[in-house]
């Protein structure tokens, strides 16, 4: 194959990569969801000691606060009708967990458990059994 | 003298036929007469046009029209009409003051000029009609496209989701200060890089946003002082184009009346010249039979 054809093909591929890269942009809602999962995971991690858990959770919470703000301020969300957007804005406390927990003066984990329907009373009333 | 009069009579007869033809055509759409020569304007209801800011859409359509051969033809016709209209007054005054055979010639020339003027106006109306109909079709296509696919520049989220988002934004705005206060209450807590940069850039963004809002090209169109969306604005433009078409119909009616008046003037002039030529030919007068009675009752 002639060298010029190789160069043209390479340019085309690079161009496609650049175009694809230009159109692919991090989704703030998805990033926020991932970070919240990481925070919840850190808070529920049975393998870490309380001090380490607290430190990891605090770092994750700070990051989550920024990501929540980025998601809320993103102008694209105004036209976003995907299920993830519908779920996100249906429950502010659950979606913007870091902000809601500070605003309501509640621990992140307490608020999250409450929003997904797990309370002390319900846990205490639960019976162990087989499905 | 007789030759001039004969020439004038023939010319008037030809003019009469032409004027009557124009009079007949005046009642019909004049498009057929110039259909083969009509220049064109073919705008496309493109995605780019749909995405344009609403205040800019009509200007973009106008600019597209100005670049077309139809606009050039309209401009040429306007110049020709202006030239003909400027000479009509002088010709009318000349016809009114002339005497004898010269008067007939002047009246004839004035009639020809009026006929040319009516023809030019008819041609211009055809071009205007073509322009308005093309514009109307374009606006209808754009409106149908926006109604089918939604306004790409407008909010697309359903009302319920938009309401939830607005409520979230409101709650976030109301709680942001207290959240920040609690967050940075301890001396060791530091603001994140995003927070710092966002605050620094937010003021500049607000200034830019204000400048965009105040920019005349971004001004939302208004009807009766009420800001309207793109579909409403396009519907308004469609109605405006239909109004222009109705007014053009009325102008065509005026034009047909003018053409009929030219035809009647030509008939009157032809009659007048004909009567005068009969008078000067010295034909024997057809007298009443009673005037000859004396020839019969007198004895031979």
Mean pLDDT of chain A: 82
Asked if residues B18 and B115 have their Cβ atoms less than 8 Å apart, the reply is: yes
User: Per-residue pLDDT for A26 more than 50?
Assistant: yes
Are B105 and B249 part of one and the same domain? yes
User: Per-residue pLDDT for B35 more than 60?
Assistant: no
Are B144 and B165 part of one and the same domain? no
Domain boundary among B169, B204, B227: B227
Kindly indicate the confidence band of residue B232, based on its pLDDT and cuts at 50, 70 and 90.
confident
User: Per-residue pLDDT for B289 more than 80?
Assistant: no
Are B130 and B270 part of one and the same domain? yes
Are B145 and B31 part of one and the same domain? yes
Kindly indicate the confidence band of residue B186, based on its pLDDT and cuts at 50, 70 and 90.
low
Across the interface, whether the CB atoms of B194 and A102 are under 8 A apart is answered no
CA-CA distance, A91 to A40, in Å (whole number)?
17
Lowest-confidence region among A18-22, A72-76, A81-85: A18-22
User: Per-residue pLDDT for B210 more than 80?
Assistant: yes
Are B195 and B239 part of one and the same domain? no
A contact test, residue of B155, B157, B180 with most A CBs within 10 A: B157
Across the interface, whether the CB atoms of A80 and B157 are under 8 A apart is answered yes
User: Per-residue pLDDT for B216 more than 90?
Assistant: no
Are B255 and B199 part of one and the same domain? no
Q: Which residue has the higher pLDDT, B79 or B226?
A: B79
Q: Which domain holds residue B202?
A: 159-227
Percent of chain B with pLDDT over 70: 77
User: Per-residue pLDDT for A92 more than 90?
Assistant: yes
What residues in B contact A96, CB-CB < 8 Å?
168, 172
The residue in chain A having the minimum alpha-carbon distance to the alpha carbon of residue B162 is A78
Per-domain boundaries in chain A: 26-125
CA-CA distance, B231 to B237, in Å (whole number)?
10
Strand ranges in chain B using DSSP code E only, listed in sequence order: 222-223, 226-227
Q: Give the pLDDT confidence score for residue A110 in this predicted structure.
A: 92
Q: Give the pLDDT confidence score for residue B182 in this predicted structure.
A: 85
Domain boundary among B227, B257, B274: B227
pLDDT tens digits, one per residue of B242-253:
999 999 999 999
Are B96 and B136 part of one and the same domain? yes
From residue A47, how far is each of A36, A43, A50 by CA, in Å? 19, 10, 10
Domain boundary among B227, B254, B269: B227
Nearest 5°: phi and psi at B223?
-125, 125
Lowest-confidence region among A3-12, A20-29, B14-23, B111-120: B14-23
pLDDT tens digits, one per residue of B81-123:
888 888 888 888 888 888 888 888 888 999 999 999 999 999 9
Tokens of B180: 């920040």
Are B130 and B216 part of one and the same domain? no
Are B138 and B254 part of one and the same domain? yes
Tell me the residues of A at the B interface, defined by beta carbons under 8 Å apart: 62-63, 65-66, 69-70, 72-73, 77-81, 85-86, 89-90, 92, 95-96, 99, 102-103, 105
ipTM (interface predicted TM):
0.72
Q: Give the pLDDT confidence score for residue A104 in this predicted structure.
A: 93
Across the interface, whether the CB atoms of B192 and A65 are under 8 A apart is answered yes
Beta-carbon neighbour count of residue B131 at 10 Å? 20
Q: Which residue has the higher pLDDT, A90 or B54?
A: A90
How many domains does chain B contain in total? 2
Asked if residues A32 and A63 have their Cβ atoms less than 8 Å apart, the reply is: no
Asked if residues A76 and A34 have their Cβ atoms less than 8 Å apart, the reply is: no
What residues in A contact B191, CB-CB < 8 Å?
none
Q: Which residue has the higher pLDDT, B160 or B107?
A: B107
Are B13 and B122 part of one and the same domain? yes
Residue among A114, A129, A124, A108 at smallest CA distance from A41? A108
Across the interface, whether the CB atoms of A78 and B169 are under 8 A apart is answered no
Are B68 and B139 part of one and the same domain? yes
Q: Give the pLDDT confidence score for residue B52 in this predicted structure.
A: 80
Asked if residues A72 and A96 have their Cβ atoms less than 8 Å apart, the reply is: yes
């Amino acid at each position: 194959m002639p060298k010029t054809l190789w160069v043209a093909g390479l340019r085309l591929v690079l161009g496609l990569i650049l175009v694809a890269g230009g159109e692919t942009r991090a989704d703030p809602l998805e990033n926020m969801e991932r970070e919240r999962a990481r925070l919840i995971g850190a808070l529920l991690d049975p393998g870490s000691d309380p001090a380490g858990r607290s430190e990891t959770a605090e770092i994750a919470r700070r990051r989550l606060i920024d990501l929540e703000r980025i998601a809320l301020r993103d102008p694209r969300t105004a036209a976003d009708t995907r299920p993830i957007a519908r779920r996100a804005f249906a429950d502010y406390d659950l979606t913007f967990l870091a902000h809601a927990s500070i605003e309501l003066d509640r621990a992140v984990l307490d608020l999250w458990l409450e929003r997904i329907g797990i309370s002390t009373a319900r846990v205490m009333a639960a019976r162990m059994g087989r499905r | 003298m007789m030759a001039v009069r004969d020439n004038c009579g023939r010319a008037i007869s030809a003019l009469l036929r032409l004027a009557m033809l124009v009079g007949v055509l005046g009642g019909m759409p004049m498009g057929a007469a110039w259909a083969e020569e009509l220049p064109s304007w073919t705008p496309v209801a493109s995605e780019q046009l749909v995405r344009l800011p609403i205040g800019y859409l009509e200007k973009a359509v106008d600019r597209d029209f100005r670049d077309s051969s139809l606009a050039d033809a309209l401009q040429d016709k306007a110049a020709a009409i202006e030239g003909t209209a400027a000479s009509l007054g002088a010709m009318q005054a000349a016809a009114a003051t002339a005497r004898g055979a010269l008067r007939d010639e002047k009246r004839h020339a004035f009639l020809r000029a009026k006929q040319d003027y009516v023809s030019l106006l008819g041609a211009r109306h055809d071009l205007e009609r073509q322009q308005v109909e093309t514009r109307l079709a374009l606006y209808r296509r754009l409106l149908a496209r926006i109604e089918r696919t939604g306004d790409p520049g407008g909010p697309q989220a359903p009302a319920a989701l938009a309401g939830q988002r607005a409520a979230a934004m409101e709650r976030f705005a109301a709680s942001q200060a207290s959240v920040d206060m609690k967050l940075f209450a301890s001396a060791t807590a530091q603001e994140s890089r995003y927070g710092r940069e966002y605050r620094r850039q937010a003021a500049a963004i607000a200034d830019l946003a204000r400048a965009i809002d105040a920019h005349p090209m971004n001004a939302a169109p208004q009807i009766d002082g009420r800001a309207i969306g793109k579909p409403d604005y396009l519907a308004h433009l469609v109605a405006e184009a239909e109004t222009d078409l109705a007014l053009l119909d009325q102008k065509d009616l005026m034009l047909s009346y003018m053409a009929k008046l030219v035809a009647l003037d030509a008939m009157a002039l032809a009659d007048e010249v004909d009567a005068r030529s009969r008078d000067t030919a010295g034909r024997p007068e057809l007298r009443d039979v009673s005037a000859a009675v004396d020839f019969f009752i007198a004895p031979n």
